[in-house]
Structure 1
Amino acid sequence: MHVHVNAAASLDGKLSSRRREQVTISGDDDFARVDEIRATADAVAVGVGTVLADDPHLTLDDPGLVAAREDRGDSPHPARVVADSRARTPTDARILDDAATTYLLVSEAAPGGRREALEAAGAELVVAGAERVSLPDAFDALEARGVDRLMVEGGGELIFSLFEAGLVDELTLYVGSLVIGGRDAPTLADGDGFVSDFPRLSLRDVERVDDGVLLTYDC
Structure 2
Amino acid sequence: MDVLVNAAVSADGKLSSRRREQIAISGEADFARVDRLRAEVDGIVVGVGTVLADDPSLIRHDEAHRRKRRGPNAPPPVRIVADSRCRTPTGADVLAGGPTTYLLTSEAAPPERREALRDVGAETVVAGDERVDLGEAFGRLEDDGIERLLVEGGGELIFSLFEAGLVDELTVFIGNMIIGGRDAPTLADGEGFVSAFPELELAGVEQLDSGVVLEWTVR
Please say which of residues 62-71 and 141-150 is displaced more in the overlay. Answer: 62-71
SS in 2 for 1:3: strand
Q: Which residue of 1 aligns with 2:205?
A: 206
Q: CA deviation at 1:97?
A: 1.2
- Describe the superposition over 1:79-125 as per-residue Cα deviations: whole angstroms up to 9, x where unpaired: 00000000000000001012010000000110000000000011000
SS in 1 for 2:89: coil
CA contact (8 A) 2:38 2:62 kept: no
The one-letter code matched in structure 1 to 2:158 is I
CA contact (8 A) 2:12 2:179 kept: yes
TM (norm. structure 2) is 0.96
SS in 2 for 1:206: strand
What does residue range 143-154 of structure 1 map to in structure 2 within 5 Å? 143-154=142-153
Unaligned segments of structure 2, at least 5 residues: none
Cα distance 1:137–1:216, how it changes in 2: closer, same or farther (>3 A)? Answer: same
Q: CA deviation at 1:74?
A: 1.6
The one-letter code matched in structure 2 to 1:78 is P
The one-letter code matched in structure 2 to 1:144 is D
CA contact (8 A) 1:60 1:66 kept: no
Question: What percent of counterpart residues are identical?
Answer: 63
CA distance in structure 2 between the aligned counterparts of 1:102 and 1:187, rounded to whole angstroms: 26
Q: Which residue of 1 aligns with 2:117?
A: 118
Q: Which residue of 2 aligns with 1:93?
A: 92
Q: CA deviation at 1:10?
A: 0.2
The one-letter code matched in structure 1 to 2:9 is A
* 1:3 to 2:3 alignment: yes
Q: CA deviation at 1:63?
A: 4.8
What does residue range 129-148 of structure 1 map to in structure 2 within 5 Å? 129-148=128-147
The one-letter code matched in structure 2 to 1:149 is R
Q: Which residue of 2 aligns with 1:23?
A: 23
The one-letter code matched in structure 2 to 1:96 is L
Cα distance 1:107–1:80, how it changes in 2: closer, same or farther (>3 A)? Answer: same
TM (norm. structure 1) is 0.96
Q: Which residue of 2 aligns with 1:38?
A: 38
Q: CA deviation at 1:61?
A: 4.5
Which stretches of structure 1, 4 residues or longer, exceed 2 Å deviation after superposition?
60-72
Q: Which residue of 2 aligns with 1:74?
A: 74
The alignment covers a number of residue pairs equal to: 218
Q: CA deviation at 1:170?
A: 0.3
SS in 1 for 2:44: strand
CA distance in structure 1 between the aligned counterparts of 2:2 and 2:72, rounded to whole angstroms: 20
- Describe the superposition over 1:29-70 as per-residue Cα deviations: whole angstroms up to 9, x where unpaired: 000000000000000000000000000011124453465588
* 1:171 to 2:179 alignment: no
* 1:102 to 2:96 alignment: no
Q: CA deviation at 1:71?
A: 4.6
CA distance in structure 2 between the aligned counterparts of 1:196 and 1:72, rounded to whole angstroms: 46
CA contact (8 A) 1:87 1:106 kept: yes
CA distance in structure 1 between the aligned counterparts of 2:38 and 2:61, rounded to whole angstroms: 10
SS in 2 for 1:52: helix
Q: Which residue of 2 aligns with 1:217?
A: 216
CA distance in structure 2 between the aligned counterparts of 1:129 and 1:38, rounded to whole angstroms: 27
Cα distance 1:61–1:3, how it changes in 2: closer, same or farther (>3 A)? Answer: closer
Cα distance 1:69–1:88, how it changes in 2: closer, same or farther (>3 A)? Answer: farther
CA distance in structure 1 between the aligned counterparts of 2:97 and 2:25, rounded to whole angstroms: 29
CA distance in structure 2 between the aligned counterparts of 1:150 and 1:134, rounded to whole angstroms: 16
CA distance in structure 2 between the aligned counterparts of 1:91 and 1:193, rounded to whole angstroms: 32
